[in-house]
Structure 1
Amino acid sequence: PAGPLREGPWRLKGADWVISNYGRHAFARHVVDVEPGNWYRVDNNEQVELKTESKFNAVAGIGYPQRFFNSLIEQSIELENSQGFADHHAFSQQDFSNLTSNPILMTEKDAGKCHSFAQADWYYQTIEAKLPEVMKTNLLAELERKKNGHR
């Protein structure tokens, strides 16, 4: 990913472990599956059961917003509107002025930026990384080798 605090692609060649999510990267040793988690209210972080028979609006200020929107559709959530923003977008109330008719769904990352002005019908979804068993086994074995002074 890009960003001011991230190292460039050149760093991948010297890394002991490269782990990719959402698909295989040329340097990746393992791919981690990312699955949708629970839903929470943005204004108070209370866990909720989302009523999927409703229509929703969705926003995402992540590297690839369509991934979030696709995930919602795969969960049988009907979207009336979806609005992507640039990664690391600094949200304001004005960003939501055209999305007033339905509850709003967003990522957990975006919810942290919207907490102070969130409405009661704004929700975010956590994600859960699922590590492959072979990755866990290999990582533990490598850590044990390093603990014992081997490279």
Structure 2
Amino acid sequence: MSTFRARLESIWYGGASVPLWLSALVPVYRGLRALHLAPYRLGWRVPKRLGVPLIVVGNLTAGGSGKTPLTIALVEALRLRGWKPGVVSRGYGGSQREPLLLDDLTTPARVGDEPCLIRQRTGVPVAVGRDRHRAAMLLLERGVDVVIADDGLQNPALARDMEICVVDGQRRFGNAQLLPAGPLREPLVRLAELSLKVCNGGVAQAGETSMRLVGDMAVPVALSSGVRPLESFSGERVHAVAAIGNPQRFFDGLRTHGIEVIAHAFADHHSFAASDLTFGDALPVLMTEKDAVKCIAFASPDFWCVPVRAELPDTFFDDVVDQLATHPKGS
């Protein structure tokens, strides 16, 4: 993690005082945000509808909070309940700009790591593009009857039927200030407008559903050997690699299994090269599943990823389906 990013983390979440220059930039951020929303608030532009229900999964803070695991869990739960879900994403971290439906040859460098991971884990249609309405229309051509937008809570272009906010249960909203003085993309009053709120880890507060990320197996990145229980690394020293919004969550999770972690935190969505993972020894390398999709081409037999699954009560998914019931499939 860069020195600047570490400094921001200490300000946002560690109680360090906010420098005046950061505070001075908050009105600039607020003004740019207002300018972005103005055409919709003034009625010059209207959010576009898809013709099928749209669920937006997002958060109020910069960085990761568990949106992608929740999106995967939603896909699986909706499919079990008779829906045909698809996922749309901006494709952050990829080079693709025009709408694209992912296939077996699509790479993370082109569309980003999260869309590739979601398609790999679920097998449902996934589309990316800066124009998420056009990208989502590609999903409808595949027979999708409900669309899940992975991220996009702050994007006013799509008319949504449900908004689900994921809250980092450990870090919450930090110092509760807007970017860049704090981690907030939007003021906390926005919480009152959201359909559902999910608390990832920590203690869920009133109105929030508790979510737990469970990762108990290690899978070879190069698929050259068998799956191992994560507990089998207990007592070993490993290099732990994470290029996610909150790398510490991954490192702490490994330590709960008795693993001695040498931590390597990279910027969220970092594009890995083989040199990034050359540590000059023979210790195993454990990484998140999101990072693993970018390392397959140069993975050695000692590279392992730790898939996580989001566990939520069935009542949460029942609530989602109940809210979708007012939107006939394919309408």
Listed as ranges, the matches of 1:1-150 within 5 Å are 1=62, 3=92, 7=152, 9=154, 11=156, 15=160, 16-20=162-166, 22-23=168-169, 27=191, 29-31=196-198, 32-44=211-223, 46-49=226-229, 50-79=232-261, 81-98=262-279, 100-147=281-328
TM-superposed CA distance for 1:104, in Å, is: 0.7
Structure 1 Cα separation of the partners of residues 168 and 154 of structure 2: 18
Q: Are 1:40 and 1:123, in contact at CA under 8 Å, matched by a contact in 2?
A: yes
8 Å contact from structure 2 (residues 153, 163) kept in 1: no
Cα deviation, 1:14-34, whole Å, max 9, x if unaligned, reads 752214164367536232322
Q: Which runs of 4+ in 1 moved over 3 A?
A: 1-11
Q: Helix, strand or coil: the match of 1:116?
A: helix
2: CA distance, partners of 1:99 / 1:71: 25
CA distance in 2, matches of 1:139, 1:83: 37
Q: Which has more strand, going by share of residues?
A: 1
Structure 2, unmatched stretches of 5+, are: 1-61, 64-91, 94-129, 131-150, 174-187, 199-210
Aligned residue-pair number: 145
Q: 1:74 is matched by which residue type in structure 2?
A: T
Q: Verify the 8 A CA contact 1:58 1:106 in the aligned structure 2.
A: yes
Larger RCO: Structure 1 or Structure 2 (Cα < 8 Å, ≥ 6 residues apart)?
A: 1
Query: TM-score of the superposition, structure 1-length normalised?
Result: 0.79
TM-score normalized by the length of structure 2: 0.39
Larger-gyration structure (1/2): 2
Q: Distance in 2 between matches of 1:8 and 1:139?
A: 17
